[in-house]
Structure 1
Amino acid sequence: MQKTNIMQSETIPRLLFKMSFPMMLSMLIQALYNVVDSIFVAMVSETALTAVSLAFPLQNLLISAAVGTGVGINSLLSRRLGEGKHEEANHVASTSLFLAFAMWVLFVLIGVFFTKPFLALFTKDTELLKLSTSYSRICLIVSFGCIFSITIEKLIQATGNSVQPMTMQLTGAITNIILDPVFIFVFGLGVNGAAIATVIGQIASMLLAIIFFKKNEYISIKFKDIKPNARIIKDIFQVGLPSIIMNSIGTVMVSLINKILILFSATAVSVFGVYFKLQSFVFMPVFGLNNGVIPILGFNYGARNKKRMLDTMKLGLVVALLIMITGTICFQLFAKELLSLFSATEEMYRIGIPALRTISLCFIPASISIILIASFQATGFGLASMMVSIIRQLVVLCPCALLLSRLIGINGVWYSFAIAEIFGLLFSVIFFIHVYNKKIKNL
Structure 2
Amino acid sequence: MKTNDKSKLILNGNIYKALLSLSVPIMINSLIQTLYNLVDGIWVSKISSVHFAATAFVWPVNFLFISIGIGLSIAGTSIISQLIGANKIKEANRHAAQLIVLTVLCAITFSVVGITLTPYIVKWMGATGDLAKYSIIYLRITFLDMVFMFLFFNYSSIMNSQGNTVHPTIFSGISAVLNTILDPIFIFTFDLGIAGAAYATLISRILLAVIGFIHLYKGNSMIVPRFRGFKFDKEIINNIVKVGLPTSIGQSGAAIGFIVLNMFIGSYGTATIAAYAMVNRITSLISQPAMGLGSALTAIVGQNTGANKENRVRESFHKATLLTSVFGFIGCSILLIFDIEIINFFMQSKDDPSVIELSVNYLKYISWSMPLMGIFSVLQGLFQGTGKTKYSMTMEIGRLWFVRLPMILLFKNFTDWGASGIWFSMSFSNLIVCLYGFLIYLKGNWKSSVIKLESL
TM-score interval, normalised by the smaller of the two chains? over 0.9
Secondary structure of the structure 2 residue equivalent to 1:217:
coil
Residue of structure 2 equivalent to 1:160: 163
Residue of structure 1 equivalent to 2:399: 392
Distance 1:275 1:239 in 2: 32
Q: Is the 8 A contact 2:243 2:387 kept in 1?
A: yes
Distance 1:22 1:354 in 2: 33
1:439 pairs with 435, 445, 448, which one? 448
* Residue 22 of structure 1, CA deviation: 0.7
Classify 1:283/1:437 alpha carbon distance in 2 versus 1 (closer, same or farther; 3 Å): closer
Distance 1:331 1:256 in 2: 27
Distance 1:136 1:325 in 2: 35
Residue of structure 1 equivalent to 2:454: none
2:246 pairs with 239, 242, 249, which one? 242
* Residue 365 of structure 1, CA deviation: 1.9
Residue of structure 2 equivalent to 1:359: 366
What is the percent sequence identity of the aligned residues? 26
Classify 1:205/1:173 alpha carbon distance in 2 versus 1 (closer, same or farther; 3 Å): same
Greater shift, 262-271 or 345-354, is seen at 345-354
Distance 2:354 2:425 in 1: 22
Residue of structure 2 equivalent to 1:271: 275
Q: Is the 8 A contact 1:60 1:250 kept in 2?
A: no
Classify 1:63/1:171 alpha carbon distance in 2 versus 1 (closer, same or farther; 3 Å): farther
Distance 2:447 2:317 in 1: 17
Secondary structure of the structure 2 residue equivalent to 1:422:
helix
Secondary structure of the structure 1 residue equivalent to 2:228:
helix
Residue of structure 2 equivalent to 1:146: 149
Letter paired with 2:197: A
Please say if 1:374 is aligned against 2:370. no
Letter paired with 2:150: I
Letter paired with 1:336: I
1:319 pairs with 319, 323, 330, which one? 323
Residue of structure 2 equivalent to 1:55: 58
Superposed, 1:108-257 pairs within 5 Å as: 108-214=111-217, 215-224=219-228, 226-257=230-261
Distance 1:180 1:103 in 2: 28
Residue of structure 1 equivalent to 2:20: 17
Please say if 1:430 is aligned against 2:430. no
Please say if 1:403 is aligned against 2:407. no
Q: Deviations over 1:12-55 (max 9, x none)?
A: 22222221111111211222222121010000111111111111
Letter paired with 1:28: L
Classify 1:49/1:170 alpha carbon distance in 2 versus 1 (closer, same or farther; 3 Å): same
Letter paired with 1:298: G
Q: Deviations over 1:258-304 (max 9, x none)?
A: 21122221111111111221111123332222111111110001101
Q: Is the 8 A contact 2:60 2:256 kept in 1?
A: yes
Residue of structure 1 equivalent to 2:427: 418
Classify 1:43/1:3 alpha carbon distance in 2 versus 1 (closer, same or farther; 3 Å): closer
Please say if 1:299 is aligned against 2:303. yes
Distance 1:380 1:221 in 2: 21
* Residue 316 of structure 1, CA deviation: 1.1
Greater shift, 341-350 or 145-154, is seen at 341-350
* Residue 392 of structure 1, CA deviation: 0.9
Greater shift, 244-253 or 414-423, is seen at 244-253
* Residue 177 of structure 1, CA deviation: 1.4
Distance 2:286 2:421 in 1: 23
Distance 1:330 1:225 in 2: 55
Distance 1:129 1:117 in 2: 10
Q: TM-score, normalised by structure 2?
A: 0.92
Letter paired with 2:397: I
Greater shift, 300-309 or 192-201, is seen at 300-309
Residue of structure 1 equivalent to 2:285: 281
* Residue 374 of structure 1, CA deviation: 1.4
Letter paired with 1:384: Y
* Residue 437 of structure 1, CA deviation: 7.4
Q: Is the 8 A contact 2:145 2:205 kept in 1?
A: no
Q: Is the 8 A contact 1:68 1:247 kept in 2?
A: yes
Greater shift, 117-126 or 151-160, is seen at 117-126
Gapped regions of structure 1 (runs ≥ 5): none
Please say if 1:92 is aligned against 2:95. yes
Greater shift, 142-151 or 294-303, is seen at 142-151
Secondary structure of the structure 1 residue equivalent to 2:124:
coil
Q: TM-score, normalised by structure 1?
A: 0.94
* Residue 200 of structure 1, CA deviation: 1.1
Secondary structure of the structure 2 residue equivalent to 1:439:
coil
Q: Is the 8 A contact 1:111 1:141 kept in 2?
A: no
Residue of structure 2 equivalent to 1:36: 39
1:331 pairs with 335, 358, 383, which one? 335
* Residue 333 of structure 1, CA deviation: 2.1
Q: Is the 8 A contact 2:108 2:146 kept in 1?
A: no
Q: Is the 8 A contact 1:94 1:227 kept in 2?
A: no
Letter paired with 1:162: T
Distance 1:308 1:188 in 2: 55
Distance 2:249 2:223 in 1: 28
Gapped regions of structure 2 (runs ≥ 5): 450-456
Distance 1:365 1:217 in 2: 35
Classify 1:162/1:272 alpha carbon distance in 2 versus 1 (closer, same or farther; 3 Å): same
Superposed, 1:63-74 pairs within 5 Å as: 63-74=66-77
